[in-house]
Structure 1
Amino acid sequence: MIDPSLGRKHHKPTCAPPVRPLSQNRDFVILWVSQSISALGSAVSSVGFVLLTLTITGSAAHAGAVASIAAITAVVCRLPAGSLADRRDRRLLMIAADLGRALALSSLVIAGTIDQITFIHIAIVAIVEAALSSCFQPAETAALRFVVASEQVTQAAARYESRTHLATLIGPALGGILFSAGRVVPFLIDAVSYLASAVGLTLIRRPLSTTGGNRAPHPSRGFVSAGLRWLWQERFVRGAVLWFAGVTFVFQSIGLVCLLLAERHGAGPAATGLLFSITSTGGLIGALAAPRLVARFQPRTLITAFGWVAAMVTPLLAVVHSAYLIGVIGALAFFLGPAANASIIGYILTHVDSTLQGRASAAVHFLSGILLPTAPALAGVLVQWLGAVPTVLLYSSVLFALAIVTTTARSLGVRQR
């Protein structure tokens, strides 16, 4: 049975907000601030999961297993979560996900207080958090369209990028400091951040779904996969997402290689940490510049520029001998990423029917992230077989191939504005 929502014309959310600068849009500011706090809490606890597992088990393999299980859970839950975002009240869905994650993390805090934490408990909490985060994400993306005017959607998506990069810059170091203060402190902070997110969502005045609920059709065969079908029918989205999946896979893989290269060049823990901070700074600066970039350049221009810059600077990792220079190379590679990503998200939010936005967003994240759980393992195997420098050159060749595709692919020529 064909999903009826696929044939509908696009329509704008009801009660479209008046056009005003995003900085003066109360609902957008509340959403941005609350989700920035939540993202920072998640970055803090992500380090906490690794350190806590190492403390409890003394095994790096167990720490890697927790991360892999969480990543696989997120991928498996993504498409059904998009369906939920289109069938249920998005505000209530996000609040429920926040409260569920806060409760799961609080169980670790309580267990740690009485010294009863086990590896199984850590793994279960990681799975629950990953599943509920998958439920939250498509509803959050779809809700963004309801708090800003339609002509500001791409700008809002660009500004929204900064929250993740700010958390990535500050969170890991803060997580390590908080873990030193107490091994359950990072999880307490993250639980509080989820409560702050839930409070922020209650303070947003505008509806985050169409009037009377999302009005998605009653679930039928193919309802969950409708987002994938829409994505495949949209030339620009299909091409951009497949390209982005390849780029993110390479970046996820090459992070481990950068760590090994830094250690080979004599970098200690402090220098290695600074390496990743420098790289994150490049992403944050790019996120701050993203609103101007998406306003000035077409999506294809941003995607192509991002692809070529990444392809040209990545081979330099094979010849530099400083952890700090490795960080600078990473910063250059990441700089245009937020603008390219925002242009894709902006296109989706302005072109897909409001009753399909959750599933479309979930489909994009599903395809772009489906290979990520295997990336670190593959990088480790390649480094062991080939060595770090040949692995860098191999990944660089993949980036060059992807850059050529972005330059020649007709599907990326769709104009957004």
Structure 2
Amino acid sequence: MSSARPSHQRAEPRDFRLLWWANAADGVGSQASGTVLPLLLLGLGNSPQTVGLIAGVSTALGLLLGPLVALPADRGARKRVMLGSAAVSALAMGCVALTLATGRPPLGLVLAAVLVERLATACFEAAARGTVALVCPGPEQPRAIARLTAADQGALIAGPALGGLLYQAARALPFLADALSYVVSALCVAAMRADLTAPAPQQRGEGLLREGAAGLRLVRSSPLLRLVLAWATTVNAVVVALYYTAVFTLQREGHSGAVLGAILALSGAAGLAGALAAPRVTRHFGAPRVVTGVTWLLVPPAAALAVVTDAWAYGLLFGLVCLLMPLASVVLQAGAVQATAPALQARTGAVLATATTGSAAVAPVLAGALADWVSTAAPALVSGVLLALLAAHTSRRPVRGVLSAGAAG
């Protein structure tokens, strides 16, 4: 006796490909323009402090806006928000490209367009959370998340290289490429046939504030989601801190920016390989062993970065960290998707994203303070200690039980 499957499961192969292309295009375009944006702002007469302030303000506003957009996305406006956000971003970057092509643009216009694009991107990302759960059957979600993670890692490699080449040809081209990438994303989302409206039970008498906090309540009540929050927050902060440790140490040793670029390319390639290998590794070893083992394996290279000064040794150790991290990250992301009802995906994802992005934003400040007040080796040593504590936590029997139950679910 056969039963009809939900429409989002029937549409999965085509719709997931469209989602993948939307994600990949957005990632490459954003990396291409984001890489050269500081150069453009400095070239227009801004100080490094002003450039850093603009980056910090746009990040902070994105963190605040994401949870606000998550509620209408979960209520049924997911596709409309994604389409509208991509269109606004395309117009903003197109405006920057046009003004750059026609001469020296007004500084206020460029800053306004960049800020609008960052806020629209935050809205797109907030609404897009949970789309995998609506276009992929449950058993296919880990592989789908691995492919999306691989696309993100690939964008980290291709985007900066593309942005640099285009900027060298004409400074408007990276922003034109970013605008076109948003057009591609919008067309892909518009072409998706699956119903992206998650079924939600009617909550009578529930206030807007309480409904908006439903994702936070779910994270607090779910042992698996609490583990995902702790792991992702810690590891993302550590990776950012280790990157800035590399910057501080290589600068102290007199290495050029080309060396740092090579290290970033190596780490991006390693992250791509790790994301592609994650489903097979998880099938072979199981979720508890992968998460626990990877967390322990991250400790030695992170701590070793405190004692090496050779650029290639830095590249190999940091690349090893970036290779290992996606193996566990994909497992935990898939578990978070499967542990969350479709009608709560955006709100729950906003809670996790706010915590991880916030920790990554604070990490450079702490790394710089440790490097100034103690030594340039201190951030790597502290990172090693934090990873060791996290690994000990994931080794506890209750935590391994949570991972086993999440994998089974």
TM-score, normalised by the number of residues in structure 2: 0.91
Residues 26-175 of structure 1 aligned to structure 2 (within 5 Å): 26-175=14-163
**Corresponding position of 2:310:** 322
AA matched with 1:49? L
Structure 1's 263 and 199: CA in aligned 2 closer, same or farther, altered over 3 A? same
- The Cα of 1:289 is off from its aligned counterpart by 0.7
User: Kindly, what percent of the aligned residue pairs are identical?
Assistant: 26
Deviations 1:309-338 (A, max 9, x none): 221111222332322221111111121322
Structure 1 297/365 Cα, relative in aligned 2: closer, same or farther at 3 Å?
farther
The residue aligned with 2:251 is 263
Offset of residue 196 of structure 1: 0.3
8 Å Cα contact 2:236-2:359 kept in structure 1: no
Deviations along 1:141-177, whole A, 9 cap, x unmatched? 3111222222211221122110100001121122122
Alpha-carbon spacing, 1:245–1:208, altered in 2? closer, same or farther (3 Å): same
Please tell me the residue identity of whatever aligns with 1:360.
T
Match of 2:6 in 1: 14
Residue 305 of structure 1 deviates from its aligned partner by: 2.3
Shift in alpha-carbon separation, 1:234–1:175, aligned structure 2, 3 A:
same
Match of 1:375 in 2: 363
Aligned amino acid, residue 227 of structure 2: G
Question: Is 2:401 the counterpart of 1:413?
Answer: yes
How much has 1:16 moved relative to structure 2?
4.7
Paired amino acid for 1:201: V
Inter-partner Cα distance in structure 2 for 1:127 and 1:154: 34
The CA distance in 1 between the partners of 2:311 and 2:5, in whole Å, is: 48
Q: Distance in 2 between matches of 1:318 and 1:368?
A: 24
Q: Deviations over 1:165-219 (max 9, x none)?
A: 00011211221221111222111111100000111112222222247xx666576
Give the root-mean-square deviation of aligned CA atoms: 2.3
Normalising by the residue count of structure 1, what TM-score does the alignment of the two structures yield? 0.89
Q: Could you say which residue in structure 1 is the equivalent of 2:266?
A: 278
In structure 2, the partner of 1:225 is: 213
The counterpart of 1:399, out of the listed 387, 391, 397, is: 387
Contact 1:314 1:329 in 2 (8 A): yes
Q: Aligned partners of 2:159 and 2:279: how far apart in 1?
A: 24
Secondary structure of 2:129's aligned partner? helix
Partners of 2:119 and 2:400 lie apart in 1 by: 32
Give distance in 2, aligned partners of 1:390 and 1:370.
21
User: Within 1, Cα distance between the matches of 2:278 and 2:207?
Assistant: 37
Distance apart, 1:286 and its partner CA: 0.3
More helix by share: 2
Q: Measured at CA, do residues 347 and 50 of structure 1 come closer, stay the same or move farther in structure 2, by a change above 3 Å? A: same
Contact conserved, 1:70 with 1:127, CA < 8 A, in 2? yes
Spell out the pairing of 1:269-348 with structure 2 (5 A cutoff): 269-348=257-336
Alpha-carbon contact 1:45-1:175 (below 8 Å) kept? yes
Aligned length: 400
How far residue 58 of structure 1 moved from its aligned partner, in angstroms, is 4.9
Cα distance in 1, alignment partners of residues 139 and 380 from structure 2: 41
Instruction: Give ranges in structure 1 of 5+ residues lacking alignment.
Output: 1-11
In the alignment, which of 332, 335, 348 is matched to residue 360 of structure 1? 348
Aligned partner of residue 208 in structure 2, secondary structure: coil
Change (3 A) 1:91 1:265: same
The question of 1:235 aligning with 2:223 is answered yes
Q: Structure 2 CA distance, aligned partners of 1:64 and 1:216?
A: 44
Supply the distance in 2 between the matched residues of 1:241 and 1:357 (Cα, whole angstroms): 15
Larger mean CA deviation between 385-394 and 237-246 belongs to 385-394
CA contact (8 A) 1:13 1:146 kept: no
* Displacement after TM superposition at 1:274 (Å): 0.4
- Say which is worse superposed, 262-271 or 328-337, in terms of deviation: 262-271
SS in 2 for 1:222: helix
Structure 2: tracts of 5 or more residues without a match: none
Local SS of the residue matching 1:318: coil
* AA partner of residue 351 (structure 2): A
Q: What's the offset of the Cα at 1:409?
A: 6.7
1:216 touches 1:355 (CA, 8 Å); kept in 2?
no
- Paired with 2:207 and 2:89, the residues of 1 have a C-alpha distance of 27
Cα distance in 2 for partners of 1:13, 1:371 equals: 40
Deviation at 1:18, TM superposition (A): 4.4
Assess if the C-alpha contact under 8 Å between 2:76 and 2:196 holds in 1: no
Q: Which residue is 2:168 aligned to?
A: 180
